Structure 1
Amino acid sequence: MRTIFQIITLMSTLCFVGLSTSFPSYAVSEPKVTEAEPEKGPNRGRMLRDGNFAIELSIFETGVPPEFRVWATDGGKAVDPSKVDLNVKLTRLGDGIDDINFYQEGEYLRGDMVIYEPHSFMVSLSAKYQGKTFNWQYDNFEGRTKITDDVAKAMEIATDFVGSSTFHETVEVYGKLTLPADATSNVYARFDGLVEKVYVKLGDPIKKGQLLLTIESNESLQSYKIHAANSGIVTNVNVTSGEQSKGRSLLQITNDKTLIAELAVFPKDLSTVSIGAKTTLTINGVEEKQVSKIDSRILKVRKDQAKLFRVVVNNHDSLFSEGSFVSAAIEISSYDVAMAVKRSGLQSFRDFTVVYAKVGDEYEVRMLELGRAVGEEIEVLSGISLGTEYVSENSYILKADIEKSGASHDH
């Protein structure tokens, strides 16, 4: 196992692969220690010796899940497995101890439990033979590194915890904002006559009851006032002071406090979208997302065969404008998963997809069996425990450090 004290060398590696992130400098040094390769036996297992007595401990995984198999010798000669009482304890990082006993199978002893990944642990072996007890202990680490908290913080290594989650599956659609059919009203003179004065201009916001025009009736020659029936914005002025009303629309008032997002759903997604579905809108030019639901749909399809679904948008602050383009995520299903992690934390390790579990200032791979992916999260079926702290951001830094250390998958 390496530590982050070789951080200067690691930073050069990261720069080499084109990373542009800047990190603080750490003036440290650590002599490089080269460990001798452990002795291997005829079955490619690790040899453990004490005088004439020797144990070969091998992880066997041909045609079976990984398990321990042991061969014993005395003075170089094979020992009857039934004469050896053996126990192995594997101390894992943050995951407790595996207590493994053995039984005879042919010419070797076979462990009674699966050695699950990662094969990274402190091994403690105890063997009883001819009234004597033999003990060995060694480290067998892979996919593990150490980083102090202050260095991890400086490198912006962020963590999260494995937990349950509710997944919301969505379809992405696009459209634009329109006005409701009843948003615009026209202002007419009750009695035709001379427009004495127009009190508003194009673009003015008005309130219900506000004075709009004064008209002198052609019949009675009496002046009367026209007030706004609704609040809104003046979107059309068709008359000026001194003109005759002539039965036409004098002003147009538009209420924009409510808009409609018309979203185009194409045939491949039509069966999944329903009235009332939760919809998250992103409106062009507005950072904050809007959450609403499908209110209705237009029966006729467009020329491109898309059907328009309508979403009511609250516009009380007049932030949005008619004609603005929108994108939307329409929820089509929702379900709970027992465990999930952020997809940003995933890395590859050997033939596995992993995250890096954090225990104190040590980090180690956890091989994951993954399920469904929705948004920024992905379901975890196995490989890590609920509540485990793991690296969710900048996990590539750990991968680079571990790969640089050259830690092997030792059996």
Structure 2
Amino acid sequence: MENKKRLIPIIAVIAIGIALGGLILTLDKTAQPTSTGSETDAGAEAADVEDSADKRGSSKGDTDSRYRAGPKGGKLFTTDELGLEVTIFEKGVLPRFRLYLYENGKPLPPSAAKVTVTLSRLGAPAQVYKFKPEVDYLVGDQIVEEPHSFDAAIAAEWKGKTFHWKYSQVEARVEMPDEMLKSIGVEILTAGPAIIKQTLKLPGEIIFNEHAIVQVVPRLPGIVTSVERHHGQQVKKGDVLAVIESQALAELRSQYRVARKRLALARTTYEREKRLWEEKISAKQDYLMAQTLWNEAEIALDLASVKLAALGVQPESDSYGSTLARYEIRAPISGLVIEKSIALGQTLKEDSNIFTIADVSTVWTAITVYPRDVAAVKVGQKAIVKATASDIKGQGAVTFITALVGGQTRNATARIELENKDGKWRPGMFVNAELVTEEIQVPVAVSTTAIQTFNEWTVVFGRYGQYFEARLLELGRSDGNMVEVLEGFRAGEQYAGGNSFAIKAELGKSGATHDH
């Protein structure tokens, strides 16, 4: 009896344990999610790209935004018995949608349902894709343009019902507010019509303007007593280049002084004889002779004055003293002394070339024109000249083309005149000249500074609200400043111009990938 009393508590504990165990098992079964077909709950949860969307499970117009990985590696959407897998096939071909149909997890023939896909992209109108059966899939009727960044809406008709799904994917897109753009210096430009200037690039060299080179000669023989300017120096018109002692000048000055004194004497004689003739004291013949002598004296003075003026000497000066032979050789133009052949004590002839001065306010560019390009170069053609060893550049026009070509090279030479008032162009500099051969109006063009390479694509980064997104371009003609856009961008769209590489850098930081 006593043993029975001891067993009662033990039996009670065991009964309570069994009851609790059964309750735990019941609760665990209630909490366990149910899997259907080939879908696993872990896979469905991992593939849910829009956690905020409700899966309503209806096939009558309801939208489902959840998918999981499908057997073809695409996005698999399922509602009731119907499943649809979306892929973008692009191996060795241009990218197109390929859709696979399933019923309760088993493949359906592609003709079993009618499907349309509508894509919405930033800054572009909606694009509707229709499909036709091919082998075991449906193939889209259009190319899926890169980047594959869009919102997709899918509509499938099957067994009299319409099923809707949607999904989004982002590629080559980065958000950058206006404040950030200012801080990194990104310039926003607008695509539109432009004039593309087709150019021909030819080599050349800066030379002196031959029309502005002056040979300086003494014009009088003499001995050099002073040399005031030297090779390589800048001079202004009228500056003293050298001084010589010239006996010929001394004689000219003496002749001028004698002629002036004779004129004064002849004038006095004329005035006296005129008065005497008017008073009937002397004969008219004496008066007329005095008038003739006065006229001859005037002519002699004028001749002496002209001889001195031709040498640049002021004949009015009468303060020669002992310097009748001093002759200052002055610069006839402003410019650069490029040659000098005069020395102190040297005896000069009147026709000796003692200085060469070049006016470098304008210079010429001698351009080498190859035989194949001769027909494309014409007088009056606009040109941009750039130094090969520096950032110096200027604009000019072709003023001359040689009528003959070189005997050995068969090249011609063209001449471009450049303004050089600031002295930046120096004769001897090697340059490249870009000649405008044609001006073409194009409907859409973008700045060449905006062109970037991204994921092996040639792109600009379009601006859409607070976002930049890569736009693949098919480019046409370019003049180095603007480039024609054949496909991929429309007039009026904004894009990143200056510092566009900063957008590319931000995309790299954000980990934008080619993800389909």
| Structure 2 counterparts to residues 7-406 of structure 1, below 5 A | 39-61=68-90, 65-79=94-108, 82=111, 84-105=113-134, 107-165=136-194, 166-181=196-211, 183-186=213-216, 189=219, 204-206=235-237, 216=249, 218=251, 221-223=254-256, 224-225=308-309, 226-227=311-312, 231-233=333-335, 235=337, 247-249=350-352, 254=357, 256=359, 257-265=361-369, 272-282=376-386, 289-297=393-401, 299=404, 301=406, 307-315=412-420, 317=421, 319=423, 323-331=427-435, 333-336=437-440, 337-406=442-511
Q: Does the Cα contact within 8 Å between 1:284 and 1:326 map onto a contact in 2? A: yes
Q: Normalized per residue, which structure has more strand?
A: 1
Q: CA deviation at 1:351?
A: 4.0
User: Equivalents in 2 of 1:167, 1:219: separation in Å?
Assistant: 63
The change in CA–CA distance for 1:122 and 1:287 in structure 2 (over 3 A counts) is: closer
Q: Deviations over 1:274-317 (max 9, x none)?
A: 443322234699976331122224546498776543222344x3
User: Equivalents in 2 of 1:290, 1:394: separation in Å?
Assistant: 25
User: Equivalents in 2 of 1:222, 1:238: separation in Å?
Assistant: 29
Give SS of 1:153's match: helix
User: Equivalents in 1 of 2:170, 2:463: separation in Å?
Assistant: 15
The change in CA–CA distance for 1:279 and 1:78 in structure 2 (over 3 A counts) is: closer
Q: Does the Cα contact within 8 Å between 2:217 and 2:355 map onto a contact in 1? A: yes
Q: Does the Cα contact within 8 Å between 2:86 and 2:99 map onto a contact in 1? A: yes
Q: Deviations over 1:196-215 (max 9, x none)?
A: x99x977542269xxx9997
Q: CA deviation at 1:107?
A: 4.9
Q: Deviations over 1:87-106 (max 9, x none)?
A: 32111011121122344556
Q: Does the Cα contact within 8 Å between 1:277 and 1:330 map onto a contact in 2? A: no
Q: CA deviation at 1:382?
A: 1.6
Q: CA deviation at 1:137?
A: 1.7
Q: Percent identity?
A: 26
What stretches of structure 1 of length at least 5 have no aligned partner? Answer: 1-33
User: Equivalents in 2 of 1:271, 1:403: separation in Å?
Assistant: 48
The change in CA–CA distance for 1:353 and 1:62 in structure 2 (over 3 A counts) is: same
Q: Does the Cα contact within 8 Å between 2:206 and 2:363 map onto a contact in 1? A: no
Supply the AA of the counterpart residue of 1:177: I
Q: CA deviation at 1:230?
A: 5.8
> Which is greater in Rg?
2
Q: CA deviation at 1:54?
A: 1.8
Q: Normalized per residue, which structure has more helix?
A: 2
The change in CA–CA distance for 1:45 and 1:269 in structure 2 (over 3 A counts) is: same
The change in CA–CA distance for 1:183 and 1:71 in structure 2 (over 3 A counts) is: same
Q: Deviations over 1:145-188 (max 9, x none)?
A: 21222122212233323334313323141312213156314455
User: Equivalents in 2 of 1:98, 1:328: separation in Å?
Assistant: 48
- TM-score, with structure 1 as normaliser: 0.71
User: Equivalents in 1 of 2:346, 2:94: separation in Å?
Assistant: 94
Supply the AA of the counterpart residue of 1:89: T
What stretches of structure 2 of length at least 5 have no aligned partner? Answer: 1-45, 50-66, 257-307, 313-329
Q: Does the Cα contact within 8 Å between 1:90 and 1:98 map onto a contact in 2? A: yes
